[in-house]
Amino acid sequence: MKKILLILFILGNVCAFAQEVEFKASAPAQVIMGRPFQLTYSVNQRAKDLRAPEFVDFDYIAGPYTSQSSSTSFVNGKRTSSFTLTYTYTLMPNKEGTFTIPAATIKVDGEQYTSNGVRIAVLPPDQPIANQPSNDNNTGVTSQQRETANVTEGNIFLRTLVSKTKVHEQEAILLSYKLYFAGVDVAQFTNNTRLPEFKGFLKQELEVGEIQTELEHYNGRNYQTAILYRTLLFPQRSGDITIDPAQFEAVLRVQNRAQVRSIFDDFFGSYTTVTKPLTASGITIHVSELPAGKPSGFSGGVGQFNISSRISNTELQANEAVTLTLTIQGVGNMKLLKIPAVDWPEGFEVYDPKVSNNFKNTTSGVSGTKSIEYLAIPRAGGVYTIPPILFSYYDTQTDTYKTLATPEYTLNIARAANEESNAAVVNNFVQKENIQQFGSDIRYIYTGDQPKFILQPSKLTFGSLAFWAWYAVPSLLAAIMFLIFRKQIKENADITRVRYKKANKVAQRRLKAAEKLLKDNNKEAFYEEIERAAWTYLSDRLSIPTAQLNKENIAQILSNKGVAQEVIAEVHRVLTTAEFARYAPVSDHAMQDIYNDTTKIINQLENAKL
C-alpha cells in the first residue's frame, strides 16, 4: 500500500511539473506621472535567469523582489497542485505618453521562455484646484452634510458619451454613461435609475458585465472611471433628435472624523454612507437623410457588408429541389436588412426563403451573418439561368451607395422519368382511334328510391310547412350567425377593450416564458421578460401606450382608480428592481423573489378590477 501511495505521489508531481509553462508580465494599464507603480513577472514553474528588458521610458526604483506560492488540493480523489513564482519591479514614469515595455525572458529546465509585452499609458499629474472652498468654518452644518458637500464639488459625476453626433438614418451610434470619481469610495449603485426613452431610435443594449474601473485624465484631474450603461442606437428618422438626461443614484462610503469616539475609531476610521444622485446630461443627435439616388436593389442596409452565395446543384432532374444560399456578413443595422429577391426562371415552383441570423452587439454596431436559403423546384427539363442577386447598401465609411452581386448560375435540368412516361401516355391517347369496353368504364347512375329521411325539394308542395321550413331554417341560421359575428367584429374594433381583456393572458404567457428562463439561469433574458410582462400588463390594463408610461404616472393613475397605496408601492418596487437587475449582478434567490413578486402584483391588480 505504501508503494502504491508513493508511486501516485511521484506521478502527481511529474504531472504537475509537466504542465504547460506560462510566463506573463502584468502592470497597470494607466499610471500617473511622478507616481511609482509595480511591474510583475509570474511563471507557473520553478525557473531562473530572469532577463528583464531595458526600462527606457521609466525610472528603475527597486526590484526585483521574488516571492513564490504553492497549493495542493484533493477533489474526489484527484490531486491538483499549483505553483507560482513572481518577480516584482517598482518603476516610475519619466514622461507622459503611451509606452510599451518589451518582453522579458526566463529559463525553465534549461529552455528559454518569453513573456508578453506591456502597454502603459502615462497620464499627466493632477493640476492644483484653485479657490477650493472649505467647509471647516461652516456653523450649524452637520458632519454628514459636510461630507455630502465634499462629494458634490467635482469629485463624482456622470458624462454622456456618444461615438458620433452627426449621422445618417440607420447609422449605428454608441451611447455610454460613464462615471468619474476621485477621492470618494463608491460602495454600490441603487436601483433608482431612470433611463431616457430614446424616442426616434431603435435600441440594442450592450452587456456591461462586472463594472471595471480605469484611470482617465479629464479637465486637468485624474479620475477613476467606469462604464455604467452602454447601448447601440439606430436613428429611425432624420432631423435633430434629443436624448433626455439619465438619472442614476450611488451610495458613497465617506470617512466622518467628527464621529471618532475612541483610539480604535481613530485607527480604523469611522465611516458613514451618503446617497448621491447623479445626472447624465442630455444630448442632441443630428440625423441626416440618406442621399438621393438609392439603387434599385437597396436593402436598407447601412454599414459595411459583403456577400457570398452557393448553390446545391447545377445538374439535376425535373422535380428535384435546388437550394440557393446567400450569406450577408458585416457590421451595421444587420437586423433591419431586407431579404434580397431572386429572379427565378419561369416554370420553377418557389417557396418562402428560410433566414438564419447569427448576430452579436458590438461597440461599432450589430455584427455577424444573415444566411438566407431560397428553395425552388423546376417542373420541366431544359437549360435555365439564375441571374445575379443584387444587394445594395449605404457605406458609412465612404458615404456612398455600394451594390454587390452574386455569380450567375446556369442550371441543366434533365427531364424526369415520370415526365417522359406521362408525355408518352398523352401521345398514345391522342393517336388511338378505337377504344373498347365502354360499359366496364362507366358507372351507372343509381335510379332507385332515395332514403325517406332525405328531404326532397322536388316533392315539396308550395305553401306547405315543409316548403317554408326548407327556406326559413337556413335564413334564420344566417341571421343568427350575422348577429354573432357582428357583435364580435364590433368588440374587436375596440382595440383598447381587446387589450384590456387580454392583458392578464398576455402577462401570464410572458411569466411562463420568464419561468423557463429562470430554470435555465438566463439572468439577462429573465429580467428582460419580467420587465416586459409588468410594463405590457400595465399598458394594456391602463389603456396607455408603453412609450407614455413611467413610474410616476403609473402611481398617479392607480391612485385615481382607488388602488391601495401598499399595492402601488409594491408595483414601483417590482418595476425598479427588474430594471436595475438587468445590468447589476444579482443572486439566483433574488431572481425567484422578483418572479414571485411580479406574479403576486399582477394578481392583485387583476383582483382590483381596474
- Asked if pLDDT for residue 8 goes beyond 70, the answer is no
pLDDT tens-place string over residues 304-317: 999 999 999 999 99
Q: Which CATH number goes with the domain that contains 25?
A: 2.60.40.10
* Residues 84 and 168 occupy one common structural domain: no
Tell which residue, 380, 296, 390, has the closest CA to residue 341.
390
pLDDT tens-place string over residues 81-121: 788 889 999 998 988 889 999 999 999 988 889 999 999 99
* Residues 158 and 278 occupy one common structural domain: yes
In a domain, 139, yes or no: no
Bridge partners of 203?
233
* Residues 214 and 264 occupy one common structural domain: yes
In a domain, 422, yes or no: no
Q: Which CATH number goes with the domain that contains 559?
A: 1.20.120
Quickly tell me which residue has 446630461 as its cell: 281
* Residues 112 and 174 occupy one common structural domain: no
State the CB neighbour count (10 A cutoff) for residue 171: 22
In a domain, 552, yes or no: yes
Here the contacts of 569-575 (C-beta below 8 Å, separation 24 or greater) are 570/597, 570/600, 570/601, 570/604, 571/534, 571/538, 571/601, 571/605, 573/597, 574/534, 574/598, 574/601, 575/531, 575/534, 575/535, 575/551
Q: How far apart are CA 14 and CA 2, in angstroms?
A: 18
User: All 3 cell numbers of residue 331?
Assistant: 457590421
* Residues 274 and 208 occupy one common structural domain: yes
Looking at the chain, how many residues does it have? 610
* Residues 391 and 472 occupy one common structural domain: no
Tell which residue, 93, 79, 43, 78, has the closest CA to residue 64.
43
Q: State the amino acid at position 12 in one-letter form.
A: G
* Residues 90 and 43 occupy one common structural domain: yes
In a domain, 269, yes or no: yes
In a domain, 429, yes or no: no
Look at residues 263, 288, 313 and tell me which one is the last residue of a structural domain.
288
pLDDT score for 1: 52
* Residues 407 and 474 occupy one common structural domain: no
Select the more confidently predicted residue: 562 or 581.
Answer: 562
pLDDT score for 395: 92
* Residues 517 and 593 occupy one common structural domain: yes
Select the more confidently predicted residue: 50 or 154.
Answer: 50
In a domain, 583, yes or no: yes
Look at residues 493, 521, 542 and tell me which one is the last residue of a structural domain.
493
State the CB neighbour count (10 A cutoff) for residue 486: 10
Domain that includes residue 489, residue range: 457-493
**Which letter, b or e, does each residue of 230-265 get, where b requires 16 or more Cβ atoms within 10 Å of its Cβ?**
bbbbbbeeeeebebeebebbbebebebeeeeeeeee
State percent of the chain over pLDDT 70.
Answer: 75
pLDDT category, 177, cuts 50, 70, 90? very high
Q: Does the bond joining 64 to the residue before it have cis omega, within 30 degrees of 0?
A: yes
Neighbouring residues of 595: CB distance < 8 A, sequence distance ≥ 6: 511, 514, 515, 518, 526, 530
Q: Which CATH number goes with the domain that contains 156?
A: 2.60.40
* Residues 252 and 314 occupy one common structural domain: no
In a domain, 596, yes or no: yes
Q: Which helix (H) or strand (E) holds 564?
A: none
Report DSSP state, residue 546. Answer: G
* Residues 182 and 258 occupy one common structural domain: yes
pLDDT category, 261, cuts 50, 70, 90? low
pLDDT tens-place string over residues 508-533: 887 888 888 878 888 778 877 887 78
pLDDT category, 155, cuts 50, 70, 90? confident
Q: Which CATH number goes with the domain that contains 327?
A: 2.60.40.740
Average pLDDT, the chain: 78
Please state the domain count of the chain: 5
β-pair type (221-235, 214-218)? antiparallel
What SS3 class is residue 122? strand
* Residues 149 and 76 occupy one common structural domain: no
pLDDT category, 409, cuts 50, 70, 90? very high
Select the more confidently predicted residue: 71 or 501.
Answer: 71
Tell which residue, 78, 249, 86, 207, has the closest CA to residue 528.
207
The strands making up 239-243's β-sheet, listed across from edge to edge, are 166-168, 283-288, 239-243
Q: How far apart are CA 278 and CA 156, in angstroms?
A: 8
pLDDT score for 151: 61
State the CB neighbour count (10 A cutoff) for residue 609: 7
Select the more confidently predicted residue: 601 or 14.
Answer: 601
CA dihedral 158, 189, 206, 516 (to 10 degrees): -160
In a domain, 442, yes or no: no
Taking the alpha carbons at both ends of the chain, their separation in whole angstroms is: 78
User: Lowest mean pLDDT: which of 131-140, 444-453, 469-478?
Assistant: 131-140
